[in-house]
Amino acid sequence: MSTLFDPVQAGDLQLANRIVMAPLTRNRSPNAIPPDIAATYYAQRASAGLLITEATAISHQGQGYADVPGLYGTEQLDAWKRVTDAVHAEGGKIVVQLWHVGRVSHTELQPGGGKPVAPSAITAKTKTVLIKDGVPTFVETSEPRALDAAELPGIVHAYAAAARNAVETAGFDGVELHGANGYLLDQFLKDGSNKRTDDYGGAIKNRARLLLESTRAVVDAVGGGKTGIRLSPVTPANDVHDSDPQPLFTYVVQQLAPLNLAYIHIIEGATGGPREIADRPFDYEALKAAYRAAGGKAAWMVNNGYDRPLAEEAVKEGDDLVAFGKPFISNPDLVRRLREHAPLNELDKATMYGGGVKGYTDYPALG
């Protein structure tokens, strides 16, 4: 029987254990360029079986928060190469999360001060982060404009180009498409945010089209064995919802099955909140079963609110990987602490977003 600390294969990725560091936005990349201390931050956590970077924009249009990194400029790629080199020097594996925020943005962050883009011109009832007088500040998102169908091939191309740059230039072991948490691909999936009447709206197969086209383009660019995808069937994050998520996500995973992906990353319940939502029931085991029945062989990664006992149970029940989020911020040696049942450092919430070394690379390891 597998344990949390056993090695596992995820596509082309041979991982030393089944513990994954989840993507964690830290807002420490001015001009969308990861700072030098990012190499230290990720290398400190390289004992995880897999590191997934903070969400990283595939284009300037894809930016939605101040001081988050990108993958669309030479300086950004050079900075990420320093990060991947540092992680590899510690024996770790690292993939980058590919991000387009869609409507979860602000005109101050968009090219030329333009409107954010979305499947439909519906403002998200949520907030983003701007830097005001050097301080990260939460502000309401701006009103978006609906993307024209003629613009969508360009977004698909941006995903593929970012993936290719990530692997071939920046040295990542793979990529993860961010199809969750109310960002662009998720906005297209869910009928609460997608009111289109063209080939990208209405029926399930139409709403899933952009996510599937983008995933196939990334697989063509870097290979399925280096590609993962993150999905969140019922999270209310960033003001998204779907009236009937079970058949929607069943269709999505059935279509993903032939792509021979490295892993499927599932957020259970509300991101950063309850694992079960009373008015949004969802059968995650049925979802996994539908994926396997369709021939899908990717590693199955679960996420949201896991501690050691819950993670051990998940692996025992057949999940391949377990993602841990905030505990990795304050515990660079989380794998060791979990293995040894050691106490965890307390998280300093005041330093989660923005700033420098404090609350980033200065959390102590055991010993």
CA distances from 257 to 12, 97, 116, 290, 294 (A): 16, 20, 32, 9, 6
Does residue 183 have an active-site annotation? yes
Say how many CA atoms lie within 13 Å of 194 toward its Cβ: 29
Q: Quickly state the pLDDT bin for 86 (edges 50, 70, 90).
A: very high
Q: Quickly state the pLDDT bin for 361 (edges 50, 70, 90).
A: very high
Residue percentage of the chain with pLDDT more than 70 = 100
DSSP 8-class letter at 166 = I
CB atoms within 10 A of CB 109: 23
pLDDT at 279: 86
Q: How far apart are CA 105 and CA 31, in angstroms?
A: 16
Average the pLDDT over 45-63 and give the result. Answer: 98
- According to CATH, the topology of domain 8-351 is TIM Barrel (3.20.20)
pLDDT digit string, tens, across residues 237-274:
999 999 999 999 999 999 999 999 999 999 999 999 88
Q: What is the dihedral of CA 298, 303, 308, 309, to 10 degrees?
A: -90
Structure tokens at 341: 């049942």
Q: Give residues with Cβ within 8 angstroms of 167, minimum separation 6.
A: 173, 174, 175, 221, 222, 226
Average the pLDDT over 145-174 and give the result. Answer: 98
Q: How far apart are CA 199 and CA 83, in angstroms?
A: 40
Among the listed residues 65, 183, 284, 363, the single catalytic one is 183
Q: Quickly state the pLDDT bin for 292 (edges 50, 70, 90).
A: very high
Q: What is the dihedral of CA 147, 152, 156, 161, to 10 degrees?
A: -80
